[in-house]
Structure 1
Amino acid sequence: MVTIRTDLTVREATADDVPALLPMLAEAFSTGTVAEWAVPEPADRLEVFTGYFRYMLALGLRHGRVDTTHDLSGAAIWYRRDETPPPHPDHLYGLEEATGRYTPKFLLLDAMFEARHPRLPHAYLAYVAVAPAVQSRGVGSALLTHAHEALDAENLPAYLEASNPRNRDLYARHGYESGPPMQPTSSGPPFWPMWRGQLNGGVRASFPPPNPYYRRLR
C-alpha cells in the first residue's frame, strides 16, 4: 500500500533549482554499495558524484524532465524513450569531465543499462533521489505518484533500474514488476530492471522480453 502525502507539491524543476538540487543528489547517491563500487576511494565519492550529477541535471533539463518538490527535498529525472535511444555524441567527453579516473565504471553501468533497456516507447526514470534527512517520509512516493498520474493519462509504460532491495520494494508498491537482476561485473552490485506496464482492462501488461542485444551480451 502506498501512502500519499498531501503536504508536498511536485513541480517541474528549472535551471534556477540546480544549486539546491545538486548537493542533495550528490549526497543521496554517494553512499551505499553502488557508490562504493563505482568510486572505491571514500574521500573521492562526494566530489565525483557532485560532478556526475552536475552533468546529469544539465542533460535532464535539456533533453528530459526534472521533477522536484516545493521544498527541493527530492528530485526525479525522466526521459521519453522511443524504440531507438537518441544519440549523444558528446556523452563520453561529458562523462569523463564529470567523473575523471572513475569514468570506466560509469561507462560500464551505462552499457549494461542500455543493453537491458526495453525497445518500445516508454518513460524512463533515470534517477530519483531524496535528501537523506527526510528519507522514508513519502517524498519519493510523492514524486512517483505525480509522474504516474501523467503517464496513466496517456497509458504509457515506465521503466527504471532499482539499485537495492528497499528501493525495489518501493517501486513494486507503485505498480512496477521486477525482472531478473543484472550486475556490471561478477563482483559488482546488483540492479533490478523494473517495468510498469500499460493498463488493459485494469491489469498491467507484463515485463517485455529482453532485447536481443542483451541476450548476445550474456
Structure 2
Amino acid sequence: MGVAIRRAGADDREDVIRLLDAALVHDPVSSWVFPEVEHRVRTHRALMGAFLDIALDEGYVDITEDGAAVALWWSVPAGPHGDGEGDDAAEAGSAADAGAADGPALLRRAVDPDNERVEVIGRLTEAIHPTDRAHEYLHLIAVHPDRQGEGLGTALVTAVLDRCDRDGLHAYLEASNARSRDLYARLGFTFMGTTLDLPDGPPMWPMWRAPRA
C-alpha cells in the first residue's frame, strides 16, 4: 500500500515541531549548532519552530497522514532569492531566503542570541544555494525515530519529485549526513562537487536533481 500524504497547516504546528525536534535533535548539523547537549535539548525545538513557521508562511509542508514523517519545502525562483520573498524576521532566517536583510542574524536573535552558530550556518547555506534555475528546495525532512526505515521519507520526497518531473522542475537540498546523501543519490540527486564544511564540524552535501523525462 502507498503512503498517504497531505499538506500540513497551522493546526498541525505543535505536532510537527515535536516531530522535527525528536527526529533531528541528534542530527550531526543540529549537534554542531548546539554542541552542549542540555542546551540543545532546551533550544533545538525553538529553531525547528522558526523553520516550520517560515515554511507554513512562504513554502509548503507535506506530512504523512499518520503524522510520522514531515518535509518542509520552498519553491525557489531563478535569480536572487530575496526577490519577492519578503523580509520579516522569521522568514529572513530561512536558508531559502538569501536576499532578505541580514536574515541569519535575525534568526539568531529570535532563537538563541548568544549562539553564533545559528547565524553562521544560515550564512554558509545562503552562500552555496543555487540561483541560476528555479527549483524545489527541500529544507528539512524528518521521520519519527520509531518509524525510520519504513520508506516514509522516501515517499514524501518522491511525491514532490514526481511533480518536478511532470512540470520540468529541478530540485535541490543539502544532505546533512552520509546516509541521507546516499538515499538522495538513489532518488536522482547528484552531489554538486564541493561539500559545505562547517567550521570544526561535519560536512554537508549540496545536491541537485534535474527533472526526468
TM-score (norm 2): 0.85
* 1:215 match: none
* 1:85 match: 81
* 1:148 match: 161
The Cα shift of 1:99 comes to 2.7
Candidates 191, 195, 202, aligned match of 1:178: 191
How many residues are paired up?
A: 193
1:116 aligns with 2:115: no
Contact 1:160 1:194 in 2 (8 A): yes
Q: Deviations over 1:57-91 (max 9, x none)?
A: 11100000000000111111111112211252423
**Structure 2 CA distance for aligned equivalents of residues 183 and 100 of structure 1:** 23
Identical residues among aligned pairs (%): 32
* 2:176 match: 163
**Structure 2 CA distance for aligned equivalents of residues 69 and 14 of structure 1:** 13
For 1:93, the aligned partner's letter is L
The Cα shift of 1:32 comes to 3.2
For 2:60, the aligned partner's letter is R
Q: Is there any run of 5+ residues in structure 2 with no aligned partner, and where? A: 93-104
The Cα shift of 1:93 comes to 3.2
Q: Is there any run of 5+ residues in structure 1 with no aligned partner, and where? A: 1-5, 203-218
Question: Structure 1 residues 191, 94: CA separation in 2 closer, same or farther (over 3 Å shift)?
Answer: closer
1:193 aligns with 2:189: no
**Structure 2 CA distance for aligned equivalents of residues 70 and 138 of structure 1:** 14
**Structure 2 CA distance for aligned equivalents of residues 128 and 32 of structure 1:** 11
Contact 2:55 2:73 in 1 (8 A): yes
The Cα shift of 1:54 comes to 1.0
The Cα shift of 1:101 comes to 2.2
TM-score (norm 1): 0.84
* 2:18 match: 23
**Structure 1 CA distance for aligned equivalents of residues 161 and 66 of structure 2:** 20
Question: Structure 1 residues 93, 17: CA separation in 2 closer, same or farther (over 3 Å shift)?
Answer: same
The Cα shift of 1:27 comes to 1.5
Q: Deviations over 1:103-152 (max 9, x none)?
A: x2121111111111111211111111111111111010010111112111
Q: Which has the larger radius of gyration?
A: 1
The Cα shift of 1:94 comes to 4.2
Report the 3-state secondary structure (helix = DSSP H, G, I; strand = E; otherwise coil) of the residue aligned with 2:141: strand
